[in-house]
Amino acid sequence: MLETFVALFAAHIAADYVFQTNQMVARKSEPLMFILHGIIVALTAVVFTGHLAWPVFAVVGLHIAIDLIKQVLWNDQFTAYITDQAAHIATIFVVSSIAPTLWETGLWAKSPEWTPYVLLLISGLIFATRGGGFAVGKLMDRFDTIDFSKNSLDGAGNMIGLLERGLIFVLMIAGLPIGIGFLVAAKSVLRFESSADGSDPENRRRSEYIIIGTLASFSWAIAVSFAVVIVMAGLNGQPLLEIITLSD
């Protein structure tokens, strides 16, 4: 079952975060863009599972339905984003439970045993980095009165977020979560000078903004990384809900 789940999850990540550009996200309410995204969802699901069976198209149909419901009923904010992603992953889990042998009977059935592990690691890394970027960005939209453009590199904040979440993912997967503490300390030191500029009220607001954004970014990366570790343990035949010692 977990191999099927990993394949469908990787297909979801590819459709939403690799082949869906920022322009497509911005214009997703347009019918043609929505149809294009639906086609990409279908193609990635078929390619990653190596199957044309009904469970694959059930996931595709549910994915499109969830996206449509989000556009009609929800606003484009943090809660809607989290609910949307949770719904996608939940439907993937349900379909994987109903059709657990989808991977074993598909085109990639004779692929190397490490294939699901690679798919899980790559899709988990993308979800931790790019997916986390959307999540943190939407969370911080409510504080859009903070201006960090002065004396800042173009796109530096986004790049820093991607790198820090990527490093956290690698540290967690490598069984070195203690390294996250050093990452927090390093970022705190580097951000101290920039947050100290300006008047006292502005300094406080900038500092709070940085703290909230950093904690949100780290929390997302740690949560996704831990989930990947749990699924990887399941692929190795260990109980999913077993408390895992990352240092082992």
Listed residue (168, 160, 183, 180) closest to 229, CA to CA: 168
Give the pair of three-digit tokens for residue 208.
């709070």
Show the low-confidence residues of the chain (pLDDT under 50). Answer: 198, 243-248
pLDDT the model gives residue 87: 94
Q: With pLDDT > 70 as the criterion, what percentage of the chain qualifies?
A: 83
Handedness of CA 74, 223, 64, 16 (dihedral sign): positive
Question: What is the widest separation between alpha-carbon atoms in the chain?
Answer: 64
pLDDT of amino acid 122: 95
Phi first, then psi, for residue 196 (nearest 5°) are -85, -5
DSSP 236: T
- Rounded CA-CA distance 137/158 in Å is 9
How far apart (Å, rounded) are the C-alpha atoms in residues 187 and 9? Answer: 32
Which residue, 232, 234, 224, 241, is CA-closest to 168? 224
Q: Distance from CA of residue 143 to its chain's centroid? A: 22
Check residue 205 and give its pLDDT: 73
Whole-number pLDDT of residue 149: 57
Specify the DSSP element, H or E, that contains 207.
Answer: helix 200-235
- Which pLDDT belongs to residue 188? 66
- Can you give the pTM of this predicted structure? 0.84
Dihedral sign (CA 55, 60, 61, 66): positive
Consecutive H or E run containing 71: helix 54-73
> Is 75 in a helix, a strand, or coil?
coil
The closest of 110, 127, 94 to 221, measured between CA atoms, is: 127
What is the pLDDT at residue 247?
38
